[in-house]
Chain A
Amino acid sequence: MKYFILIAAIFFIGCAGEPNITDGDLDGNVLFDPSLYSPEQFLISKSKPNPTDQEKQQPVIIVAHGYTATTFEWNEFKRYADSTNPGILVSQVLLGGHGRTYQDFKNSSWRDWQASIIDEYQQLVKAGYRNISFAGSSTGGPLIVNLFAQSLFANSIKPKHVFLIDPIIVPANKSLSMIGIFGPMLGYIESGEMTDEERKHWYKFRPQETLQELLDICTITRKDLESGIRFPDSTSVSIYKSLYDDVVDRVSTVMLYNGIETKTPNMKKVSLPKSGIHVITRLEGRANVTEQDRVLQKKVFDEMIQDLKSKP
């Protein structure tokens, strides 16, 4: 019924204009993601471009955030890894079109978003790193899984681990499936309630063009999964999905689990914690965080680090 109301509202409102962006929003021309100014603080290819032989064998994990987010989404994991396991190198990529302005975002495609992940991987390989893993939250998930579908690693260094945190294949809100019909009338969609901290690190306004891109990468990945995506023999995958997350539908996990083919079944793990948080690894900036959320976050971080350290 809510879709009918949405559709009726669209017809009455007609074509939407430009959003009302303030200086307190990431979407404006004042706030930018810090990785644009100081990439060496976020990317291992920039901070350690000439690794020693020992560093080349260290686990490096490329972490990719979700739709509208920024490098902020993985800050807590980086801090945790740095403080507890200095041997693990965390490389935080900023997806193309993100962390900049509304117009930059509007003009970007999912391939632009993904290009940052590919670029960092290729820079690390070029620098000599041999133990590379990936982690993607929300839209970061399909962007990473798509790299396997397009055989990016066929003649290159094979990733060791892939961690997918609340990866999206099917959105919780099914009206996204109709964005191609109603998007042009909407123009953009405003995010729900955000904290002041979140407004600095997430776009508040979602141009309909980018929602169509989001739908495209989800659909492409779903179809690739239906055909089966073969991971390299040395690559394992762990999927974490909150059961009561209101952004990503739970069937996304089923599709990923059934569609990814690993060398052995035990190289594929799935965890469905009873949480309502979307992207359970990011708690900073949220309005309400419980002790249970913190325990869960630490558990996921510890498991990720354990997996990263488990192979040479």
Chain B
Amino acid sequence: MKKVAQISLSFLSMIILTHEIVSDEISVGLKFQQSINMYNENGITVEYAPKNLLNDQLSFGASYISTRFGSAFNSNAIIQDNIVLHSTYLFSSSSLAPLIRLNTGYCFADYESSLFDEIDASMPLLSLETGARFAFDVPLIVQAGIGYNLITSDGSSGIGTVYPLFVQCSLMWSFSL
């Protein structure tokens, strides 16, 4: 948790610092993620795009997605919460733009029994993602991508349900600040 707090603080400082220089855009929305051959995790995402930073093509964001709102809803799937910070680079300023993204964060699992106390219940996340963003005329943004988790469990450490490949889609409403 300490690591997550440190990352969050650095990220927040960066946003505040940037905000003093330019006027910006913030997008808030829902994120839907499906790991290939594993869980479905959904949640919320927020993205901050500082004006004029790399031609408006670089943004920073944070997401919380969980199986609580996906596979584990009303089922025996393992409850896992992911807190992820991400930086996104758009390859164009047009309404349809390809993107790359770096995600980093932490995953926490709840095995719901003390029998499994010896199994790791948290692990760091680091993934690369590529996809595309489409901005409608109304301030609605759709982002979709395919990602690859660089850190996964080896069976004896970490959380075994963090799988390498995933696809995600985000629907966001944007506001000018």
Contact A258 B112 (CB under 8 A): yes
Among A85-93, A128-136, A186-194, A223-231, the stretch that binds chain B is A223-231
Identify the stretch in A54-62, A168-176, A287-295 within 8 Å (CB) of chain B at 4 or more residues. A168-176
Which of A225, A249, A251, A252 has the most chain B CB within a 10 Å cutoff?
Answer: A251
What is the interface of chain B mostly: helix, strand, loop, or mixed?
loop
Chain B residue nearest to A179 (CB atoms) is B37
| B112 contacts across to A, CB distance below 8 A | 258
Give A3 to B152 CA distance when docked, in angstroms. 10
- Whether A177 contacts B38 in the complex (CB less than 8 A), given A225-B76, A226-B77, A253-B116, comes out as yes
A248 CB-CB contact with B under 8 Å: yes
Which of A174, A244, A270: most chain B Cβ within 10 A? A174
A 238-269 binary contact with B (CB < 8 Å = 1; else 0): 00000111111111111101110000000000
B116:A178 contact, CB within 8 angstroms: no
Contacts of B115 in A (CB 8 A): 257, 270, 272
A219 interface hit (Cβ, 8 Å): yes
A177 touches B155 (CB 8 A): no
Cα distance A270–B113 in the bound complex, in angstroms:
11
| CB pair A226 B71 closer than 8 Å | yes
How far, in angstroms, from A172 to B119 measured CA to CA in the complex? Answer: 13
B89 interfacial by beta-carbon distance below 8 Å: no
A5 part of interface (Cβ distance < 8 Å):
no
A13 interface residue (CB < 8 Å to B):
no
Nearest CB of chain B from residue A145's CB, rounded to whole Å: 13
Which single member of B109, B118, B160 contacts A249 (CB below 8 Å)? B160
A177-B36, A177-B164, A258-B112 known; A226 vs B155 contact (CB < 8 Å): no
Could you say which interface size class chain B belongs to?
Answer: 20 to 34
Interface string of A205-227 (1 = CB under 8 A from B): 00000000001000100000111
Determine whether B154 belongs to the interface, using a CB cutoff of 8 Å to chain A: yes
- Give bound CA distance, A215 to B118, whole Å: 26
Among B118, B119, B155, find the residue whose CB has the most chain A CB atoms closer than 10 A. Answer: B155
When distances are taken between beta carbons in the complex, the residues of chain B under 8 Å from A272 are 115-116, 118-119
Q: How far is the CB of B122 from chain A (nearest CB, A)?
A: 13
Query: Which residue from chain A places its CB closest to the CB of B80 in the assembled complex?
Result: A251
| Contact (Cβ within 8 A) B156 A228 | no
Asked if B111 is an interface residue, CB under 8 A from chain A, the answer is yes
The answer to whether the Cβ of B161 comes within 8 Å of any Cβ in the partner chain is yes
Query: For residues 145 through 160 of chain B, which have their beta carbon under 8 Å from a beta carbon of chain A?
Result: 148, 150, 152-156, 159-160
Q: CB of A154 within 8 A of chain B? A: no
User: Per a CB cutoff under 8 Å, which of A172, A177, A228, A255 touches B154?
Assistant: A172
* Interfacial chain A residues near B71, Cβ < 8 Å: 226
| Given A174-B153, A225-B76, 7 extra CB contacts under 8 A | A3-B148, A174-B164, A177-B38, A178-B164, A219-B37, A244-B156, A272-B119
Q: 15 A-B contacts, Cβ less than 8 Å apart? A: A1-B150, A3-B164, A173-B154, A215-B37, A226-B77, A227-B76, A228-B76, A250-B116, A250-B119, A250-B155, A250-B160, A251-B153, A251-B160, A253-B116, A254-B78
